[in-house]
Amino acid sequence: MADQVTLTIDGVSVSVPKGTLIVDAAKRIDNDIPVFCYHPKLKPVGMCRMCLVEVGRVMKDRATGQVVLDDAGQPKVGFGPKLETACTTPVEPGMVVVGASQKVTDARDDILEFLLTSHPLDCPVCDKGGECPLQNLTLRHGPGKSRFVYDEKQKNDKHVPLGGPDDALIFLDRERCIQCARCTRFCDEIADDHVLGFYQRGRKIEIATFSEPGFDSKFSGNTTDICPVGALTTADFRFGARPWELTTSASICNHCPVGCNTTFSTRREAKSGGKQVIKRVLPRQNEQVNEVWICDKGRFGYHFIESPARLTAPLVRKDGKLVEATWDEALTRVAETFKAAGSALVGLAGGRLSNEDLFAFKQAVSGVGGKALLDAPLAGGDLTTVVGVSAGVNSGAGTDLGQIGKGTAILVVASDLEEEAPLWWLRVKAAAERGATLIVANARPTKTDRYAKHVVRYDVGNAVSTLAGMLLEGSSDYATAFAQAENALVFYGREGLDFAGTQALAQACANLLIETKHVGRAQNGLIGVWTTANAQGAAELGLTTTPASPAVLAAARAAWFVGTDPLGDGRLTRKDLPPFTVVQELFLTDTAKAADVVLPAAAWAEREGTYTSGERRVQRFYPAVPAPGATRPDCQIAAEIGKAMGATRFGGFPAQVFLEIARTVPAFAGLNYAAVSKVAPQWPDVGGRDQYYGGASTTNLQGLGVQLPSAAERGTVPQAARAEAPALAHPVGTLLVLPIAKLYDRGATFAPSTLVHPRVPAPFVAINPADAARIGLADGDEAELALDADTVLVVAKVTADAPEGVLLLPVGLGVATPEGPAPARVAKSARVAA
């Protein structure tokens, strides 16, 4: 056991690891020392002075260093003349802390009185009312009457948009601010976005943003959780509802493979015609996944669920037009045609579907001999089931990014983590700061480089050869560091690669892990930075990843698209579709418009199910709002189709399907919803009686999830295999377009969140200054980008972040982008501005 220190707090003895702060030690014995500026995830500053307590230390003789004993032979404890802040004082053996004395009670009353002198009388109009630490602590420790003259209160700006008046996501009320610096410290220490700071001094001190656009951080919403007053509030939830009027439902964010645990706060309201609607998204504490944070996409990107454009009834094509039909009619038509198609049925599912949906889909399709595929651009899912991160069945503790530090190597290749999986970026950064050896390999600089011990720059398309090179002994210091590390994790993405390239890269990464013996145990393995939430689940359930292409559908007589829109993405055209196409979707997408039958699906927030995160953790989500119209959960639809075809014998309810998965898929053996919903006390304790100690992040009472054991852990011996990617032709003097990911895009699940639109960039291309000078492009110019298939109009951004000869083109902003790197030409647009 690490060094334990025993001390007494208000008469209760407690033993904690050396270095623990008094506030945390007290929390362990349910002694809530009030705090404002302290947060267990931030470095303590001792600014607010709310946690002042009496601290007595064992007295030592100055000369001899011996402990002074009293008459009874016990160490004498001497109390200092001043109170000390519990949040900055580490525990010492034999320390006596007193929080329950008159002196401390008076001190707490005094500090609260000071904070309330200029605090505005805003409780009735403040969004924080009802979940406000200042309110709670005032009622518990503070004065009942004010002695401060109302007219002399310091007045300040209220309702300041941090950003422009039309694009602020967060509003600042400077009068309510109690200058605790939690927001500035979060931005500096955790998000590493130095966009918020103090301005002025003394009573005039206030928060200001220093970025353009204001508060330019993908994690800005977290400050509204940890702000102890209503100074920082989101524009999304402004005046939404009172906290006690909200119902909470646990969920999992479905934008990226991290699988952040979230909570939906819902209310049935008159504004929405009596419907129950989602008012906001908050993080849910899961120390092994997202701790107490979520990114702004997860926080503000839920509006698509309630979009009026949602499909609400099945549609069937009659006389060339899609008309509403009943479920019976639609399902009968589908089942008959699919059964007749048999092995000529091709099913393509998107990675946003839950485990239950994908399983039911696979059973139905393969039950009649068809091909059930995952339509995704990143291969390697099958490899992650073998050499993916392990649950530690033999060691007890699974893979947890929050536990790694010195002794672990993390390799991030071909991925811009901050844009693709922000919470992984946050956790990898924290791991690097704790001493993990971070190696970042990419063709261009990304934000992850800042914390890397080794930054490996290769030419576009050379990711695979770079990885393969790491297997050569002594080839580089980063290869050696990786091989010699006790534990190693590899995150791989698809930047600079086409689909075949990603397959090769995944194999190369797997080879590296196998050769360096970093498989089959916890804190080791391969993680794919998937483009969707449940691609890992699809892999675990045995679906093969094959992106939709004309070749895939060449021999098909029927196609079933579930949660994927290849026509909208430009990967298929109408003529590629087989004679009978069924689309199961939330919206009437381009593919749906060309379909013969359209089945309306329920969104994940309207039903229950499970997702498997990229770290192979199965997590459960619960329904938050009722499903609209006649929509049904995907797994139910798939099971009904399967039943009608005689291919499926289980019912469509998610819990049932999950039991079926546990019965048939070895990795899921022994699991059920109860196991996945198990909770355990977490540290730091941001819930409990003193819920706002850690922020508004809600207590996790609905499940921590279960990590699946990898095949390697279960006994399979992983084998290395050939990993080759053809060299990419990039003649000198030509330009290569490199598609890159952007967190904020115009995708179907993010576009309805109009409040974030000002932060979604207009389509642009990033070009190196040397190339820009040669072509005659200046920063901000409108440019014509000529790709193989079409020419698109974009804004030119001249930056050294783009390597010479390479154009960075973000995906998903509304202009066609190639699948992988492709040659291109760019010139200043000939259009004259009107």
Partner 1 sequence: MFTEILKGFVTTGKVAFQPAETIQYPEQRKPVSARFKGRHELKRYDNGLEKCIGCALCAAACPADAIFVEASENTDAQRFSPGERFASTYEINLLRCIFCGFCEDACPTEAIVLESNYELAYTDRHDAIITKDKLLVAPAAGQPTTPMRVEPGTFDRPVPDMKNPD
Partner 2 sequence: MDQGKHILFRHRDIANLRDLDVYLAHGGFEAFKKAVTTLTPQQVIDEVKNAGLRGRGGAGFPTGLKWSFLTKDSFPRYVVINSDESEPGTFKDREILTHNPFQFLEGAMITAYASQANTIYNYVRGEYWDVVAGLERCVAQLYERGFLGEKLFGTEFKLDFFHHRGAGAYICGEESALLESIEGKLGQPRLKPPFPADKGLYAKPTVVNNTETVTNVPFIIQHGAAAYRQNGTEKSPGTKLFCLSGHIQKPGNVELPLGTTLRELIYTHGGGIRGGKGFKAVMLSGASSVVLKVDDALLDTPLDYESVAAKGAMLGSASVIVLDETVDLSWVILKTTRFFKHESCGKCTPCREGTFWMLSILERINQGGAAKADVDLLQNVASQIQNKCLCPLGEFSVTPVLASLKTFRGDFDARTTDGAPKAAPKSAPKKAAVEAGD
- Does position 56 interact with partner 2 (CB under 8 A)? The reply is no
- Does position 147 interact with partner 2 (CB under 8 A)? The reply is yes
Which is nearer to partner 1, 38 or 171 (by Cβ)? 171
- Does position 152 interact with partner 2 (CB under 8 A)? The reply is yes
Contact residue for partner 2 among 113, 189, 192, 382 (CB under 8 A): 113
Residue 152 binding: pick among partner 2, partner 1, none (C-beta 5-8 Å cut-off by kind): partner 2
Stretch that binds partner 2, among 103-111, 287-295, 306-314, 677-685 (CB under 8 A): 103-111
Stretch that binds partner 2, among 47-55, 653-661, 781-789, 802-810 (CB under 8 A): 47-55
276: left (phi over 0), alpha (psi -120 to 50) or beta: beta
Q: Least distance (Å) from partner 2 to the CB of residue 177?
A: 11
Contact residue for partner 2 among 15, 28, 42, 46 (CB under 8 A): 46
Collect all residues with Cβ–Cβ distance below 8 Å to 604 and sequence separation of at least 6. Answer: 251, 252, 254, 352, 354, 621
Q: Least distance (Å) from partner 1 to the CB of residue 155?
A: 9
Which is nearer to partner 2, 87 or 624 (by Cβ)? 87
Q: Cα(first)–Cα(last) distance of the chain, in Å?
A: 73
**CA 591/CA 572 separation, integer angstroms:** 9
Collect all residues with Cβ–Cβ distance below 8 Å to 746 and sequence separation of at least 6. Answer: 760, 812, 813, 814
Stretch that binds partner 2, among 145-153, 274-282, 316-324, 342-350 (CB under 8 A): 145-153
Q: Least distance (Å) from partner 1 to the CB of residue 147?
A: 11
Stated as kind and residue range, the H or E segment containing 399 is: none
Which is nearer to partner 1, 272 or 326 (by Cβ)? 272
- Does position 122 interact with partner 2 (CB under 8 A)? The reply is no
252, β-bridge pairs: 261
- Contacts (CB under 8 A) with partner 2, residues 155-194: 178-179
Residue 111 has, within 13 A of its CA and on its CB side, a CA count of: 25
Stretch that binds partner 2, among 106-114, 265-273, 383-391, 727-735 (CB under 8 A): 106-114
Please report where in the chains the tokens 């007494």 appear, as a residue.
8
Residue 205 binding: pick among partner 2, partner 1, none (C-beta 5-8 Å cut-off by kind): partner 2
Q: Least distance (Å) from partner 2 to the CB of residue 104?
A: 11
Which is nearer to partner 1, 204 or 238 (by Cβ)? 238
Q: Least distance (Å) from partner 2 to the CB of residue 205?
A: 4
Collect all residues with Cβ–Cβ distance below 8 Å to 797 and sequence separation of at least 6. Answer: 764, 765, 766, 767, 779, 780
Q: Least distance (Å) from partner 1 to the CB of residue 570?
A: 40
Residue 129 binding: pick among partner 1, partner 2, none (C-beta 5-8 Å cut-off by kind): partner 1
- Does position 203 interact with partner 2 (CB under 8 A)? The reply is yes
Q: Least distance (Å) from partner 1 to the CB of residue 536?
A: 41
The burial of 444, by beta-carbon neighbours within 10 Å (0-12 exposed, 13-18 middle, 19 or more buried), is given as: buried
Helices (H), 439-518: 463-469, 477-484, 499-515
What is the DSSP secondary structure assignment for residue 578, as one 8-state letter?
A: -
Contact residue for partner 2 among 93, 197, 402, 570 (CB under 8 A): 197
Q: What is the DSSP string of 748-810?
A: TTTTT-GGGGGGSPPSEEEE-HHHHHHHT--TT-EEEEE-SS-EEEEEEEE-TTSPTTEEEEE
Q: Least distance (Å) from partner 2 to the CB of residue 222?
A: 22
Q: To the nearest 10°, the Cα dihedral for 80, 86, 89, 95?
A: 60
SS3 content of the chain, % helix, strand, coil (to 5): 30, 20, 50
Tokens of 290: 């997202």
- Does position 81 interact with partner 2 (CB under 8 A)? The reply is yes
Contact residue for partner 2 among 114, 327, 653, 673 (CB under 8 A): 114
Stretch that binds partner 2, among 108-116, 297-305, 446-454, 564-572 (CB under 8 A): 108-116
Contact residue for partner 2 among 42, 45, 748, 786 (CB under 8 A): 45
- Does position 48 interact with partner 2 (CB under 8 A)? The reply is yes
Which is nearer to partner 2, 118 or 682 (by Cβ)? 118
φ, ψ of residue 770 in degrees (nearest 5) = -65, -45
Residue 238 binding: pick among partner 2, partner 1, none (C-beta 5-8 Å cut-off by kind): partner 1
Distances (CA, A) of 710 to 355, 393, 520, 521, 667: 17, 10, 7, 9, 7
Which is nearer to partner 1, 123 or 393 (by Cβ)? 123
Collect all residues with Cβ–Cβ distance below 8 Å to 190 and sequence separation of at least 6. Answer: 41, 42, 219, 222, 293, 426, 430
CB 812 within 8 A of CB 742: yes
- Contacts (CB under 8 A) with partner 2, residues 621-680: none
The burial of 449, by beta-carbon neighbours within 10 Å (0-12 exposed, 13-18 middle, 19 or more buried), is given as: middle
- Does position 151 interact with partner 2 (CB under 8 A)? The reply is yes
Q: Least distance (Å) from partner 1 to the CB of residue 149?
A: 8
Which is nearer to partner 2, 145 or 722 (by Cβ)? 145
Which is nearer to partner 1, 246 or 391 (by Cβ)? 246
CB 448 within 8 A of CB 416: yes
Produce one character per residue of 206-242: b if its CB has 16 or more CB atoms within 10 Å, e if not: bbbbeeeebbbbbbbbbbbbbbbbbbbbbbbbeebbe
Which is nearer to partner 2, 82 or 575 (by Cβ)? 82
Q: Least distance (Å) from partner 1 to the CB of residue 245?
A: 7
Please report where in the chains the tokens 């702004």 appear, as a residue.
296
Q: Least distance (Å) from partner 2 to the CB of residue 229?
A: 13
555: left (phi over 0), alpha (psi -120 to 50) or beta: alpha
Distances (CA, A) of 717 to 265, 514, 665: 46, 9, 18
| Contacting residues toward partner 1, per CB under 8 A | 121-125, 129-130, 150, 158-159, 238-239, 241-242, 244-245, 269-271
Binding mask 2-41 for partner 2 (x = CB under 8 A): ----------------------------------------
Q: Which one, of 163, 161, 159, 279, lies nearest residue 758 by Cα?
A: 163
Length of the chain: 834
Please report where in the chains the tokens 């309630």 appear, as a residue.
306
Which is nearer to partner 2, 103 or 574 (by Cβ)? 103
Q: Least distance (Å) from partner 1 to the CB of residue 543?
A: 45
Q: Least distance (Å) from partner 2 to the CB of residue 121?
A: 13
In degrees, rounded to 5, the angle at the alpha carbon of residue 121 between the alpha carbons of residues 116 and 124 is: 130
Residue 49 binding: pick among partner 2, partner 1, none (C-beta 5-8 Å cut-off by kind): partner 2
- Does position 63 interact with partner 2 (CB under 8 A)? The reply is no
Q: Least distance (Å) from partner 2 to the CB of residue 528?
A: 40
Q: Least distance (Å) from partner 2 to the CB of residue 690?
A: 19
**CA 398/CA 635 separation, integer angstroms:** 29
Q: Least distance (Å) from partner 1 to the CB of residue 454?
A: 51
Is the peptide bond between 17 and the residue preceding it cis, with omega within 30 degrees of 0? Answer: no
409, β-bridge pairs: 437, 488
Collect all residues with Cβ–Cβ distance below 8 Å to 591 and sequence separation of at least 6. Answer: 561, 564, 565, 566, 567, 568, 572, 581, 583, 585
Q: Least distance (Å) from partner 1 to the CB of residue 112?
A: 19
Q: Which one, of 358, 418, 422, 381, lies nearest residue 604 by Cα?
A: 358
Q: Give the total of residues touching partner 2 (CB under 8 A).
A: 37
- Does position 148 interact with partner 2 (CB under 8 A)? The reply is yes
- Does position 599 interact with partner 2 (CB under 8 A)? The reply is no
Contact residue for partner 2 among 117, 465, 682, 791 (CB under 8 A): 117
Binding site for partner 2 (CB under 8 A): 44-50, 52, 81-83, 88, 107, 110-111, 113-115, 117-118, 147-152, 154, 178-179, 197-198, 200-205
